[in-house]
Copies of this chain bind each other. A is one copy, B any other.
Amino acid sequence: MTKQFQFTIDKKLDGTMARAGTISTPHGDIKTPAFIVGGTKATVKALTPEQVTDLGGQSILANTYHLMLRPGVDIIEKAGGIGQFMNYGGPTFTDSGGFQVFSLGVAYKKGIDAVASSERGDANKARKSTNQLVNITNEGVHFRSHLDGAKLLMTPENSMEMQHKIGADVHMAFDECPSPLADISYLRESIARTHHWADRCLGIHQKLNEQNVSAGQPKQALYGVVQGARHKTLRKESAEYLGSLDFDGYGIGGVFEPGEIASTVAWVNETLPEDKPRHLLGMGSQPADLFLGVEYGVDTFDCVAPTRQARNGALYTHKGRVNIKNAKYYDDFNPIDGKCDCYTCRNYSAAYINHLFKSNEMLGATLASIHNESFVVRTVDLIRESIIEGTFFEYKRTFLTSYYGDGLPSNVTL
């Protein structure tokens, strides 16, 4: 019989909110803490699914907003769901599209920077503009496609219907992601709407799951998404309300600086029910995020920064980020990172990857993406191991000292 969604805590780390666990899905298990690989448009940029699995990726997260625009969710449903469509057999997540409706809707025709920032996590960049092209009502959000300007409406109901057509194992409730700069009265209004939408998402999701069950299909899981910007009262209120509902897990949404993880994420996770998994949406471009997130109770992460940076030649090493296009790599026959055992570092020199980037050869982006994605996936896997072995703080200190040197982000204590 196919497995249903389930979360088990394997080990807790005394004196922290960190835990090692297992998320079971109809497409296999995810050992947590885990870094979920970004597959926004039903493809992990520049990588085959085999390369994703080979680098240690346990699961992929795609985006409802992008997929509704192209190729359209009906095509993915006809293909047999996103796993079949993209030839990936492992567990899959979809983000609801809520964040993108705001960031990309707003960003429409405002230039490439905003579009490049379409995934959660680069929100500060994307959200500079006002919401003038987005019209929010209690029904849902009217917005324009960033591809062709077409007028569209996204509601809790159609986001859930689309996510069921896409058919990932884990869905996110449709939420409003307000600007972190919005005033408190707007944030109160926004959070009430997000909670109202969460009720509606849960209602339609349960109906769609009943259809799954009658068709002999496994149920799909739904995470509620906690908002509340930087306000302790709002974050706790949101976590408490959503935590009381029958969600399978929780996303932590919104926009904040890495340094704020220790406060914002802590407020949320000390309030959410302990026995359900928590996903920090779109954060992970800084290794410090990963350690702090776990310490304050996060089970899974997703972030497209590692592969985006890889395509630009910015590569992670245990001594910090380097630019592989730099002339000093021209004749450096060592791997990018001597301590890394990914496919790229096992088989290619920095000199070769420098050559590929200088020559605009596509294989450069592939090898760099394998390396960066492997780096973050492996870092979180080792965080899991350190929780089980009780060596988390030792690992955190060693890793962050080596990575940041003198440039450790403020608010990170070792």
Contacts of A362 in B (CB 8 A): 45-46, 362, 365-366
Residues on A facing B (Cβ under 8 Å): 41-48, 70-71, 75, 78-79, 85-87, 330-331, 333, 347-349, 351-352, 354-356, 358-359, 361-363, 365-367
B43–A87 CB distance below 8 A: no
> Nearest-CB distance from A48 to chain B (Å)?
7
Extra pairs beyond A43-B359, A45-B363 (11, CB < 8 Å): A41-B361, A42-B355, A43-B363, A44-B363, A48-B367, A71-B359, A75-B351, A85-B352, A87-B348, A87-B352, A362-B365
Contact A351 B79 (CB under 8 A): yes
Q: Which residues of chain B are near A87, meaning CB under 8 Å? A: 347-348, 352
6 contacts between A and B (CB under 8 A): A43-B356, A43-B361, A44-B363, A45-B361, A47-B363, A75-B355
Closest to A359 in B: B41
Q: How far is the CA of A136 from the CA of B71 in the complex (A)?
A: 54
Structural contact, A355 and B71, CB atoms closer than 8 A: yes
Contacts of A85 in B (CB 8 A): 349, 351-352, 355
Partner of A331, one of B43, B78, B359: B78
Identify the 7 closest CB pairs spanning chains A and B, nearest first: A71-B355, A46-B362, A87-B347, A43-B363, A43-B361, A41-B359, A87-B348
Chain B CB count within 10 A is highest, among A75, A349, A363, for A363
**How far, in angstroms, from A355 to B70 measured CA to CA in the complex?**
7
CB of B79 within 8 A of CB of A352, answer yes
Closest to A85 in B: B352
**A360 to B, closest residue via Cβ:** B41
Tell me if B43 and A349 are in contact (CB < 8 A): no
Nearest chain B residue, comparing its CB with the CB of A311: B362
Q: Is the CB of B70 within 8 A of A359?
A: yes
Contacts of A359 in B (CB 8 A): 41, 43, 70-71
A34 to B388, CA, bound (A): 54
Nearest residue in B to A361 (C-beta to C-beta)? B43
Least distance between A60 CB and chain B CB atoms (Å): 13
Minimum distance in angstroms from A92 CB to a CB of chain B: 15
For the complex, give the distance between the alpha carbons of A398 and B375 in Å.
50
Report how far A82 CA is from B313 CA in the complex, Å: 23
By a CB distance below 8 angstroms, the chain B residues around A352 are 42, 79, 85-87
The docked-state distance in angstroms from the alpha carbon of A302 to that of B47 is 27
Task: Find the B residue at minimum CB distance from A44.
Answer: B363
Q: Looking at the assembled complex, report how far the CB atom of A183 sits from the nearest CB atom of chain B, in whole angstroms.
A: 38
Q: Which residues of B are found within 8 Å of A78, using beta-carbon distances?
A: 331, 333
Rounded to whole angstroms, the CA-CA distance of A333 and B363 in the bound complex is 28
Let me know if A366 and B79 touch, CB within 8 A: no
Contacting residue for A48 out of B43, B70, B349, B363, CB 8 A: B363
Contacts of A347 in B (CB 8 A): 87
- B residues less than 8 Å from A86 (CB atoms): 352
CB distance from A360 to the nearest CB of B (A): 10
Closest to A363 in B: B43
How far is the CB of A116 from the nearest CB of chain B, in Å? 13
In the complex, are the beta carbons of B70 and A358 less than 8 A apart? yes
Give the nearest-CB partner of A46 in chain B.
B362
